[in-house]
Amino acid sequence: MKIVFIASTGGAVLNKLLEHNSVRQKTLCVISDRDCDAIEKAKKHNVPVKILNASSGAKFSKLLDEYFNYTDVIYISFYTKLLSSKFLCGREGYVFNCHPSILPACKGMNGFGDTLRSNSLFIGCTLHEVNEELDDGRSVIQCALPLDRSLKEEINRHKVFLMQYYSTLQFLKWTCDGNFKAGKEWKILSPKYKESVFSPNLDKDFEEFYGIQIEL
């Protein structure tokens, strides 16, 4: 199953994902509502891009629905506005986002910053299904680490960045291996729940598959 990345930001996580050949091969397109850094990073990796100029989430959703008038792709969204119900209808279990907080806590644009400003003892991320509500869909995978407030903010932010990167890589691996069944009643096939910072766990061969070493 092919992947479409929806972006409207700097694209740091996207750029890291596209370093992997297996991800580039699965990527149909990176699409945005503007000419942003995410588009430039996709071009750097020779990944097809498309800009659908739109000033609102509703307008962008309409253009996106017209441009991709089929549902048999997985959409991973780094888009900062709400996608319309019309676009999401018929794509239930095909549109996902990786949010920089442990949902349902700290929804919205500044999940990481809101976590720091809260009384939370943990930082983390949640890869979840996108629905009509803000950061409200079913969680696919979560990652959490103790929040060490003695560290500089940028160090904790980088930890969350890595959690988002690893979580999205694992999700893509499940789709590649046939271990994720998309659709309204989506499910992960044979998930593992041993003690770990990731729930469900990363695959045993995760590091070997991507040629990386987890650094958390």
Q: Do residue 42 and residue 134 come from a single domain? A: no
Q: Do residue 42 and residue 146 come from a single domain? A: no
Mean pLDDT of 132-160: 96
Give the pair of three-digit tokens for residue 130: 């996108």
What confidence tens digit (pLDDT) does each residue in 171-211 have?
A: 999 999 999 999 999 999 999 999 999 999 999 999 999 99
- Bridge partners for 50 per DSSP: 31
Q: Do residue 115 and residue 189 come from a single domain? A: yes
Q: Do residue 207 and residue 175 come from a single domain? A: yes
Q: Do residue 13 and residue 66 come from a single domain? A: yes
Unique residue bearing structure tokens 């297996």: 22
pLDDT at residue 75 greater than cutoff 90: yes
- Model confidence, pTM: 0.95
pLDDT for the residue numbered 118: 95
Q: Do residue 108 and residue 157 come from a single domain? A: yes
Q: Do residue 54 and residue 146 come from a single domain? A: no
Phi first, then psi: give them for residue 92, nearest 5 degrees: -60, 130
Unique residue bearing structure tokens 């792709």: 73
Instruction: Using the 3D structure, point to which of 91, 110, 132 is the last residue of a domain.
Output: 91
Q: At CA 75, angle to CA 89 and CA 27, rounded to 5?
A: 145
pLDDT for the residue numbered 180: 96
Q: Do residue 78 and residue 104 come from a single domain? A: no
Phi first, then psi: give them for residue 86, nearest 5 degrees: -65, -40
Phi first, then psi: give them for residue 88, nearest 5 degrees: -75, -25
Residues spanned by the domain of 133: 99-216
For the chain, where are the alpha helices, taking DSSP H only? 12-17, 21-26, 37-44, 57-67, 85-88, 111-117, 153-177, 206-210
Give the pair of three-digit tokens for residue 34: 């503007």
Q: Do residue 58 and residue 107 come from a single domain? A: no
The tally of domains found in the chain comes to: 2
Q: Do residue 110 and residue 216 come from a single domain? A: yes
List CB contacts of 195: < 8 A, sequence separation 6 or more.
Answer: none
Is the peptide bond between 104 and the residue preceding it cis, with omega within 30 degrees of 0? yes
What's 204's domain CATH number? Answer: 3.40.50.170
Q: Do residue 137 and residue 62 come from a single domain? A: no
| Amino acid at residue number 199 | S
